[in-house]
């Protein structure tokens, strides 16, 4: 199956990636909306950010750019710049964990760099138009950010021969964390704060605080780097306790 896809025409590959990214977008929006309804008693904001035309266009643009980055990855794969190993249950967990750790570290620093005054003003401020979030907030991004994230992911694939199962698991976790972080509700219980490993996971509260206090909480999947580099919002534990 991998070899068949590798041998597909560029037109077929483009169509597959475009359809896949549209489905990912629609799934994320639907999940975000459902989380907001099911956990309405645990809202982090008193409202959702209103939908605006320019941000809807930005979200559509992000979907198209994500498909374009996928096509770039596919093209590099066909040139054997990196390899994707066949599906393997035995490697799935390890490969996914390694990619999460690499991407979490890389995204933490890219996010901090994006908050440099010049880059924030010209690039990242667009995402921070959403001081509170709504179901499309995850995709309201400047094109530079979409491409930066995509290139970071491709960089990992170049240096590590990931299995198909590990890659699919990572991509699934990525959209789940992104959707949760912008859902505006906190579905996790207060016990997360005192449970080993779980207490280090990035929660909706964690990312919501970043939208409110942009000088804190730069991580994505975990709190590890914010704790290590002293950028975790000092009110995080209290805010999480109130929301959960």
| Distance separating alpha carbons of residues 230 and 237, to the nearest angstrom | 14
d(CA 4, CA 39): 43
pLDDT band at residue 217 under the 50/70/90 scheme = very high
Q: Using CA atoms, how far apart are residues 144 and 84, in angstroms rounded to an integer? A: 26
pLDDT of residue 94: 95
Q: Tens digit of pLDDT for each residue in 149-200?
A: 999 999 999 999 999 999 999 999 999 999 999 998 999 988 888 888 899 9
What is the mean predicted confidence (pLDDT) over 56-75?
A: 96
* Mean pLDDT, range 51-59, rounded to an integer: 90
Q: What is the DSSP letter of 87?
A: P
Q: Are 202 and 220 in contact (CB under 8 A)?
A: yes
Provide the pLDDT for residue 67: 97
The CA distance from 107 to 162, in Å, is: 19
Residue 176: predicted pLDDT:
95
Supply the pLDDT for residue 111.
Answer: 95
The dihedral region occupied by 87, where left means phi > 0, alpha psi between -120 and 50, and beta the remainder, is: beta
**Model pLDDT for residues 64-73, shown as the tens digit of each residue:** 999 999 999 9
Q: Is the pLDDT of residue 53 over 80?
A: yes
């Amino acid at each position: 199956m991998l070899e068949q896809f590798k041998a597909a025409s560029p037109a077929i590959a483009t169509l597959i990636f475009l359809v896949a990214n549209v489905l990912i977008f629609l799934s994320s929006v639907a999940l975000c909306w459902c989380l907001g309804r099911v956990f309405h008693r645990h809202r982090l904001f008193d409202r959702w950010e209103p939908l605006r035309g320019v941000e809807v266009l930005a979200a559509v643009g992000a979907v198209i750019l994500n498909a374009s980055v996928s096509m770039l990855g596919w093209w590099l794969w066909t040139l054997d710049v990196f390899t994707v190993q066949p599906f393997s249950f035995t490697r799935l967990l390890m490969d996914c964990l390694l990619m999460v750790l690499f991407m979490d570290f890389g995204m933490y620093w890219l996010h901090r760099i994006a908050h440099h005054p010049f880059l924030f003003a010209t690039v990242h401020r667009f995402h921070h138009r959403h001081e509170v979030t709504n179901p499309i907030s995850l995709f309201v991004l400047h094109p530079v950010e979409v491409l930066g994230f995509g290139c970071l992911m491709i960089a990992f694939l170049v240096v590590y021969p990931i299995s198909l199962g590990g890659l699919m698991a990572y991509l699934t976790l990525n959209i789940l964390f992104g959707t949760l972080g912008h859902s505006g509700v906190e579905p996790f219980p207060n016990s997360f704060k005192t449970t080993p490993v779980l207490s280090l996971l990035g929660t909706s509260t964690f990312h919501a605080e970043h939208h409110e206090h942009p000088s804190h909480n730069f991580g994505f999947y975990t709190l590890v780097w914010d704790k290590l580099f002293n950028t975790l919002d000092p009110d995080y534990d209290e805010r999480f306790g109130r929301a959960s």
